[in-house]
Structure 1
Amino acid sequence: MELHADRTAVSRHTCNNFIQLVSDYVFLSVYQHNPCPQGEQCQMKHGHRIKTQVQKRWLSRKDTQRLMALEGSWLEERVSHLRGRHLLYAGVDTDPKFLSRSRADHTFRVGMPWQKGLVDCQARIDNTHWPFPNETLDVVVLQHALDMTNRPHQLVREATRTLVSGGYLVVVGFNPYSAWGGARWLRTMSTELPWVSNPVAPLRLSDWLMLLDFRVENVTTAAHLWPIKIGSEALSRRVDRVLAGNRIFAGNVYILVARKTVAGMTTIRSERKVRRESKLGFAIPATRKPVSRTKGSM
């Protein structure tokens, strides 16, 4: 019996290794089939919302560079402890340094349709159809990617489709319900970034993710002082810590971390945790309540 059990364990181990090798081969085949070498323009056939020159001007501004530095530190704190085989990054930062500190075995950057010649990417993808099989990525980081597309819902769907069960989705975006959001409404005719962006509210994004069997683990707002520069970055961080969870003075930028659960499983959350999360300044999506059955309903 012990010999039979040992043979069964060896067979399972060999089978799992074979499946993992096939998965990695398929992933790398797709990855190499859609290259975006240095200097090549990451441009898809359909049009994009924001012009390339507009993005270049915005990325070269000092306030944008300050924001990228702040967001880079936030992402490093939240992504550095996430393990897995493959981490995908899609975002506006031209030099996402936090990727080098990731614990994932393989980190890579993809170019989006609206990043025409702006970044050195390792693959190019479409907003609506990612060239990756289902459940092949362990971590997906979207840094203002939703803000720059006309189809944020489809982009979220593709990102969640490619994540494995237990995988993480990390989203950084502009908060439309903030001081920046109010200023944006006063500049509706502007064609410059960040005013021309298409931000998705964190509450709305949380609702989408709940429907896609994701558990929102954390939503934090920050960059309360941005784009105004008052003092050093250390001061900005202190202000963010003091105002964390303030419903009236929400930050101009949010970072959301969600985890993919088993399809069809509803997460039961304690009332204490829900009350604590509600202090972030956003309503927490309601979970489905279990249906109580009586003997007469059976």
Structure 2
Amino acid sequence: MLRPAYSEMPLEPPASWQALPYGDWLKEQVEAGLDDWWPRIFGYHLLKLGALADSLPTGLCPVSHQFGLDPNRGAVRAELAHLPLQTASIDAALVPFCLEFHQDPHAMLRELDRVLISGGHLVLVGFSLLSPLALGYLWPSHHQQLPWSGRLFTPGRVQDWLSLLGYRVLTQECIAHHTMLWSPQKFPTAQRWLADLCPGLGSVYLIIARKLEAPLTPAKQRWHLRRPLVARPVREAVGCRNKPPVAACNPKRHHSSS
């Protein structure tokens, strides 16, 4: 049974890449995974949400205006679920490792959906629950350490949230096939073997989705109400009311010969 996405207790997000296990190596993996997609994202404004987004290089993205937003740093300081931005004013948003460390990830996605334009791109990076990273939960001492202190979700669950908001997932890729319990330099053959045989079991997922807007065209009426068949016109029926039967209403009366 899935746990609710909402957390009763506030969660502490990582303040920098170095706060995560082998953060510099993890940052390189994320950079390499997104480099092929940045040239395909266009627009005027790129929002980089969270403390980790501002330090990710996005020079390959042709969007001219790029700015960071975080409660404690960045060009704009605000809560992630209460963005001080106009509705439909952002062309793309980069959101690395924010959903799993936010108390209400649904509210964050709804707020991002509000500020994104129709056709805008949403770039999500997160830790996957179905991965070698989940081995860290076997040690209780890791439960209070990053990233296991957050609420990890599966990529499929995140895609379900996006589909409910009306997004089309362009790509979903898993990278960093590593437990993050020891140095990535150890057992490189095992990592390559896992990436080749089970590419969907990476510890980090990359999801790039596009916001779709339903067309406001009226639906054609495919059926019509059948009118009841009137056997006698109303005027005639009123004229013949309270009169003798057919013979009385007939202007031509037949008289029998004497």
Q: Alignment partner of 2:57: what SS? A: helix
Displacement of 1:182 in angstroms is 4.0
Q: Structure 1 runs of 4+ off > 3 angstroms? A: 55-58, 185-189, 228-232, 234-241, 243-246, 293-298
- Distance in 2 (CA, whole Å) between partners of 1:109 and 1:78 is 19
Displacement of 1:179 in angstroms is 1.9
Match of 1:242 in 2: 196
- Distance in 2 (CA, whole Å) between partners of 1:222 and 1:139 is 22
Select the residue among 84, 94, 111 that pairs with 2:43: 84
Higher helix share: 1
* Contact 2:136/2:142 (<8 A) preserved: no
Q: Alignment partner of 1:184: what SS? A: helix
- Distance in 1 (CA, whole Å) between partners of 2:162 and 2:15 is 31
Task: Find out whether 1:67 has 2:20 as its counterpart.
Answer: no
Q: Alignment partner of 1:181: what SS? A: helix
- Distance in 1 (CA, whole Å) between partners of 2:47 and 2:210 is 15
- Distance in 2 (CA, whole Å) between partners of 1:167 and 1:92 is 22
CA radius of gyration, larger in: 2
Task: Find out whether 1:158 has 2:158 as its counterpart.
Answer: no
Structure-2 change in CA distance of 1:138 and 1:244 (3 Å): farther
Match of 2:12 in 1: 50
Match of 2:233 in 1: none
Structure-2 change in CA distance of 1:58 and 1:209 (3 Å): closer
Structure-2 change in CA distance of 1:173 and 1:61 (3 Å): closer
Select the residue among 183, 191, 202 that pairs with 2:136: 183
Displacement of 1:72 in angstroms is 1.7
Match of 1:269 in 2: none
- Distance in 2 (CA, whole Å) between partners of 1:80 and 1:48 is 36
The aligned runs of 1:13-24 (5 Å cut-off) are none
Amino acid of the structure 1 residue aligned with 2:89:
T
- Distance in 1 (CA, whole Å) between partners of 2:84 and 2:140 is 37
* Contact 1:222/1:244 (<8 A) preserved: no
5+ unaligned residues in a row in structure 2: which ranges? 1-8, 227-258
- Distance in 1 (CA, whole Å) between partners of 2:129 and 2:195 is 20
Match of 1:141 in 2: 94
Post-superposition CA distance 1:272-297 (Å, at most 9, x none): xxxxxxxxxxxxxxxxxxxxx99799
Post-superposition CA distance 1:218-259 (Å, at most 9, x none): 111111125243549x9799557524645xxx1111010110
Task: Find out whether 1:254 has 2:213 as its counterpart.
Answer: no
Task: Find out whether 1:102 has 2:53 as its counterpart.
Answer: no
Select the residue among 72, 84, 97 that pairs with 1:131: 84
Structure-2 change in CA distance of 1:61 and 1:189 (3 Å): closer
CA RMSD of superposed structures (Å): 3.4
* Contact 2:130/2:154 (<8 A) preserved: yes
Amino acid of the structure 1 residue aligned with 2:49:
A
* Contact 2:128/2:204 (<8 A) preserved: yes
5+ unaligned residues in a row in structure 1: which ranges? 1-46, 266-292
Structure-2 change in CA distance of 1:191 and 1:230 (3 Å): closer
The TM-score normalised by the length of structure 1 is 0.61
Structure-2 change in CA distance of 1:58 and 1:131 (3 Å): closer
- Distance in 2 (CA, whole Å) between partners of 1:157 and 1:182 is 31
